[in-house]
Amino acid sequence: MAEKRYLFTPGPTPVPPQVLEAMSRPIIHHRSSDFREILGRCLDRLHEVYRTQGDILIYTASGTGGMESAVSNLAGPGDRVVVVSAGFFGERWAAMARNFGCEVAEVAYDWGEAPAAEDVSARLRELGGAKVVFLTHSETSTGVVADVQSLAAAAKDAGALVVVDAVSSLGAVPLETDAWRIDCVISGSQKALMTPPGLATVSVSPDAWAAVDEGAPSRFYFDWTQTHERQEQFDPAFTPAVSIVVGLDVALGLLLDEGLEQAFERHARLGRACRAGAKAMGLELFSPDDDRSAVVTAIHSPEAIDSGELVQTLRDRQGIVLAPGQGPLKGKIFRIGHIGYYDVFDITTALAGVELVLGELGADIERGAAITAALEAFEHTRV
Amino acid sequence: MAEKRYLFTPGPTPVPPQVLEAMSRPIIHHRSSDFREILGRCLDRLHEVYRTQGDILIYTASGTGGMESAVSNLAGPGDRVVVVSAGFFGERWAAMARNFGCEVAEVAYDWGEAPAAEDVSARLRELGGAKVVFLTHSETSTGVVADVQSLAAAAKDAGALVVVDAVSSLGAVPLETDAWRIDCVISGSQKALMTPPGLATVSVSPDAWAAVDEGAPSRFYFDWTQTHERQEQFDPAFTPAVSIVVGLDVALGLLLDEGLEQAFERHARLGRACRAGAKAMGLELFSPDDDRSAVVTAIHSPEAIDSGELVQTLRDRQGIVLAPGQGPLKGKIFRIGHIGYYDVFDITTALAGVELVLGELGADIERGAAITAALEAFEHTRV
């Protein structure tokens, strides 16, 4: 029998069968009334999940494409922007803003640290303000979920626009686009939104619209104004990934049927279960041991075991797909994603696989304790 | 019973069940060995279809995103470029190049005209050359398939780089990337390649690589160098639309199993059948009545009947989806696409629907002649 596969990465994530089924129907035209109905409902559902009255734009692109749309529509050559960075995706904001000619000031932390609002305030005072502050909600490379509410308040109070990468967090942990005064939130279809990769979603506040330099060159595909005008008429400027929009609509329906607050609680409990299991095995956590860490759990590989080898062996021998460490954490940590279409038995499967393979690789770990600890933490703790 | 739908637009096009089935399997990770095998095979197959030894890059984007990658990697502020334009997509090249600050010279024709190589040569002589010449192979808005071989030769002989929009033509009509010395060919998944929309494919010749300004700002997502380096390592820079790559791989396998030459002949015969049927009904063709017009047939709406109304009525009453006229042809023409997963009974269905609805709308057309003429033209003519 072909080996079963278990996908436990923080994106792409497993896609519910209802979503796969909807996506396997005959393709429809993106300017047909059939699609109009689906796109309209999908946008309504996105507004609920984003908790915004602002505009939401859908791009056929990875999350990075959505991020680029924020940089290229809001900032340009010579504009001073601040990037708060504590991992791989924070550094991507900085690289991208530099590519677009911005004057980039960083509030940089070691990978794995949690950014603090007072550092952002201090930096903005020192600089005399900035046009945009770019934040990362869930830093997928480290498992840290930042306190975006306080970071956004610090930036907004200093007169900056606030842009948040919520690619892996939207739908998994609380995010209040309007209540937290965030001008632009970027997400992607393939994380907590339970859909295959291919779509980026971008919210745009009235303040963000007011800051768009309409005459600026160097953007076409990611131009917000054109995308918005055409989307409003249900006449997309460029052919969207129709089947993924169809899937996203169904997935958002599932998420809203569960209820956003219920989904947040489930994710917090999944994070607790994962951390409890890893600790019971005798492993050391890399991500913070707090309830906010509900997207992905980063765990130190035991001494003398390269985390890349662990991930590779799990994949090759057991069909279990985890994520290795990136950048300075390569070889040192491995990451178990737990967002989207995910329940506690996905956690126990991931932990059982880790336990099995670490044992085979000669690590000195506690056998048999992780599963019980994880189930216990999932069942008997309420957020 | 829910109404059946018949999709006869020049993109998205119907997706074969084998492709839908492959796409409905559980999602895999884009850095797993499972995906590595699929991506590698998909790229090999793309090389066969493109007929190139050059590099091929895959972007998660519409075809327009692939076009933007060519503009932003090959040209920048102040660069002189020539755009050959005779319809909607030619004009898109010009708009995009202007957005990126290029000095754009156009060789512009009325919509529906076929560009001539001598005009390109003359313009390049007059300008003293240009960095890039942008061409459109199949101008989907008019049904005209340009003689890209002679246009490319004219541009290349004048020392320019040649970039071709082959979004709706690749796999339907002959295109020889290397033999015709084309530096960059852009295509999309959702046309003759029989896959849902979401991927753009871009070939890059050695001459094109040599012309890339590595230091130029204003691109990140569509940067060729980063995309290429990471794709070579099977470690995509940004999460690709995994399920659409899986589908594209299967679809390209189907195309190559049929044989490229056989597919070209089938498309030429489909074009003949469509034109013969439309003429037998008494309608006037807008696209040229020649064998090159094998992608989409543009047809004048009868006097006093708005083509948009015809298309809308066909969609609403019969579930048949054709394309209306765009730009200056709005209301005047309608278009029947015949690319990809398409056979002669799709042509007869489209024609039967047009005949029925035109009759209902009061047009004076010949009833009952179109189907026979189409079948006859398809069966009894060989290219």
**What is B78-103 written as a DSSP string?**
T-EEEEEESSHHHHHHHHHHHHTT-E
Answer whether A61 sits within 8 Å of B64, measured CB to CB.
no
A227 and B CB contact within 8 Å: no
B35 and A CB contact within 8 Å: no
Q: For the segment B147-200, what is each residue's pLDDT rounded down to a tens digit?
A: 999 999 999 999 999 999 999 999 999 999 999 999 999 999 999 999 999 999
d(CA A99, CA A359): 45
Q: For the segment B329-367, what is each residue's pLDDT rounded down to a tens digit?
A: 999 999 999 999 999 999 999 999 999 999 999 999 999
Architecture of the A259-380 domain:
Alpha-Beta Complex (3.90)
Rounded to the nearest angstrom, the minimum Cα separation between A120 and chain B is 26
Tokens standing for A187? 């997400």
Judging by DSSP bridges, how do beta strands A320-321 and A6-7 pair with one another?
parallel
d(CA A131, CA A75): 8
d(CA A66, CA B95): 22
Contacting residues for B350 by C-beta, under 8 A, at least 6 apart: B6, B8, B274, B320, B322, B336
Q: List CB contacts (< 8 A) between A24 and chain B.
A: 20-21, 23-24
**Cα-Cα end-to-end distance for chain B:** 41
Answer whether B64 sits within 8 Å of A221, measured CB to CB.
yes
d(CA B126, CA B119): 10
Beta strands in A80-149 (DSSP E): 80-85, 103-108, 132-136, 138-139, 144-145
Average pLDDT over residues A266-278: 98
C-beta atoms surrounding A118 within 10 Å: 10
For A220, which of B21, B99, B238 is closest by C-beta distance?
A: B99
Answer whether B12 sits within 8 Å of A242, measured CB to CB.
yes
pLDDT at A383: 55
Q: List CB contacts (< 8 A) between A321 and chain B.
A: 28-29, 32
* Residue of A27, A165, A312, A321 to mutate, testing the B interface (most B Cβ within 10 Å of its Cβ): A27
d(CA B325, CA A270): 53
A68 and B CB contact within 8 Å: yes
CATH value of A17-257 in 3.30.70.270, 3.40.640.10, 3.60.20.10, 3.40.50.2300: 3.40.640.10
* Residue of A29, A64, A99 to mutate, testing the B interface (most B Cβ within 10 Å of its Cβ): A29
Using alpha carbons, select from A49, A27, A52 the residue that is nearest to residue A38: A27
Q: For the segment A43-72, what is each residue's pLDDT rounded down to a tens digit?
A: 999 999 999 999 999 999 999 999 999 999
For B198, which of A15, A198, A316 is closest by C-beta distance?
A: A198
Confidence of residue B383 (pLDDT cuts 50, 70, 90): low
For B29, which of A217, A238, A321 is closest by C-beta distance?
A: A321
B236: nearest CA partner in chain A? A62
Please check the confidence at residue A338 and state whether its pLDDT lies above 80: yes
Tokens standing for A240? 């969207």
* Residue of B62, B189, B335 to mutate, testing the A interface (most A Cβ within 10 Å of its Cβ): B62
A72: nearest CA partner in chain B? B218
B348 and A CB contact within 8 Å: no
Task: Spell out the CATH class of B260-380.
Answer: alpha beta
Task: Spell out the CATH class of B19-257.
Answer: alpha beta
Average pLDDT over residues A26-41: 94
Average pLDDT over residues A119-127: 98
pLDDT at A242: 98
pLDDT at A381: 65
Q: Considering only residues A379 and B350, tell me which one the structure prediction assigns the higher pLDDT.
A: B350
pLDDT at A214: 78
A324: nearest CA partner in chain B? B31
For A14, which of B26, B99, B190 is closest by C-beta distance?
A: B26
A21 and B CB contact within 8 Å: yes
Q: List CB contacts (< 8 A) between A244 and chain B.
A: 196, 198, 241, 243-244
CB B119 within 8 A of CB B142: no
Rounded to the nearest angstrom, the minimum Cα separation between A73 and chain B is 11
A11: nearest CA partner in chain B? B29
Please check the confidence at residue A1 and state whether its pLDDT lies above 70: no
Q: Which of A210-224, A292-306, B35-49 has the weakest average pLDDT? A: A210-224
CB A25 within 8 A of CB A34: no
Answer whether B30 sits within 8 Å of A12, measured CB to CB.
yes
d(CA A204, CA A66): 11
Bridge partners of A186?
A: A165, A202
For B60, which of A62, A243, A321 is closest by C-beta distance?
A: A62
Answer whether A218 sits within 8 Å of B217, measured CB to CB.
yes
Answer whether B63 sits within 8 Å of A321, measured CB to CB.
no
Give me Rg for the CA atoms of chain B.
21
Interface of A with B in 146-185 (CB under 8 A): none
Which residue is listed with tokens 């906010």? A292
CB A351 within 8 A of CB A274: yes
Residues in chain A: 383
Confidence of residue A274 (pLDDT cuts 50, 70, 90): very high
Q: Considering only residues B304 and A1, tell me which one the structure prediction assigns the higher pLDDT.
A: B304
Answer whether B65 sits within 8 Å of A7, measured CB to CB.
no
Bridge partners of B7?
A: B321
Answer whether B9 sits within 8 Å of A29, measured CB to CB.
yes
Q: For the segment B233-285, what is each residue's pLDDT rounded down to a tens digit?
A: 999 999 999 999 999 999 999 999 999 999 999 999 999 999 999 999 999 99
pLDDT at B98: 95
Tokens standing for A207? 């303040």
- For residue A112, the Cα-to-chain-centroid distance in whole angstroms is 16
Answer whether A241 sits within 8 Å of B197, measured CB to CB.
yes
Please check the confidence at residue A382 and state whether its pLDDT lies above 80: no
Confidence of residue A343 (pLDDT cuts 50, 70, 90): very high
d(CA B32, CA B23): 17
Contacting residues for B21 by C-beta, under 8 A, at least 6 apart: A24
Residues above pLDDT 90, as percent of chain B:
95
List for chain A the helix, strand, coil content (%; round to 5). Answer: 45, 15, 40
Please check the confidence at residue A135 and state whether its pLDDT lies above 70: yes
pLDDT at B175: 98
A60: nearest CA partner in chain B? B61
Rounded to the nearest angstrom, the minimum Cα separation between A382 and chain B is 31
Q: For the segment B280-301, what is each residue's pLDDT rounded down to a tens digit?
A: 999 999 999 999 999 999 999 9
A314: nearest CA partner in chain B? B32
Q: List CB contacts (< 8 A) between A235 and chain B.
A: none
Beta strands in B236-364 (DSSP E): 296-300, 320-321, 323-324, 333-337
CA geometry: angle at A247 spanning A241 and A249, to 5°?
A: 105
DSSP single-letter state for residue B302: P
For A238, which of B5, B26, B64 is closest by C-beta distance?
A: B64
Q: For the segment A152-187, what is each residue's pLDDT rounded down to a tens digit?
A: 999 999 999 999 999 999 999 999 999 999 999 999
Please check the confidence at residue A352 and state whether its pLDDT lies above 70: yes
Tokens standing for B149? 């071989």
Beta strands in A189-271 (DSSP E): 199-204
Judging by DSSP bridges, how do beta strands B132-136 and B161-165 pair with one another?
parallel
Answer whether B63 sits within 8 Å of A11, measured CB to CB.
no
d(CA A179, CA A13): 28
A9: nearest CA partner in chain B? B29
Residue A141's alpha-carbon distances to A17, A118, A136, A275, in angstroms, are: 28, 23, 11, 16
Rounded to the nearest angstrom, the minimum Cα separation between A30 and chain B is 8
In single-letter form, the type of residue at position B256 comes to L
Residue A37's alpha-carbon distances to A18, A31, A209, A277, B311, in angstroms, are: 18, 10, 26, 44, 18
For chain A, domain boundaries: 17-257, 259-380
For A217, which of B33, B99, B242 is closest by C-beta distance?
A: B99
Using alpha carbons, select from A31, A17, A16, A43 the residue that is nearest to residue A245: A43
Using alpha carbons, select from B320, B345, B339, B354 the residue that is nearest to residue B140: B339
Give me the interface pTM, i.e. the ipTM.
Answer: 0.95
In single-letter form, the type of residue at position A169 comes to S
Q: For the segment A2-23, what is each residue's pLDDT rounded down to a tens digit?
A: 678 999 999 999 999 999 999 9
Confidence of residue B110 (pLDDT cuts 50, 70, 90): very high
A315 and B CB contact within 8 Å: yes
d(CA B328, CA B110): 10
Interface of A with B in 75-104 (CB under 8 A): 77, 95-96, 99-101
Q: List CB contacts (< 8 A) between A18 and chain B.
A: none
pLDDT at A213: 83
Output the average pLDDT for chain A. Answer: 96
Residue A262's alpha-carbon distances to A123, A143, A276, B313, in angstroms, are: 37, 21, 21, 45
B20 and A CB contact within 8 Å: yes
Instruction: Give kind and range of the element (H or E) at residue B135.
Output: strand B132-136
For B241, which of A7, A198, A237 is closest by C-beta distance?
A: A198
Q: What counts of helices (H) and strands (E) characterise chain A? A: 13, 14
Answer whether A239 sits within 8 Å of B21, measured CB to CB.
no
Rounded to the nearest angstrom, the minimum Cα separation between B89 and chain A is 11
Q: List CB contacts (< 8 A) between A22 and chain B.
A: none
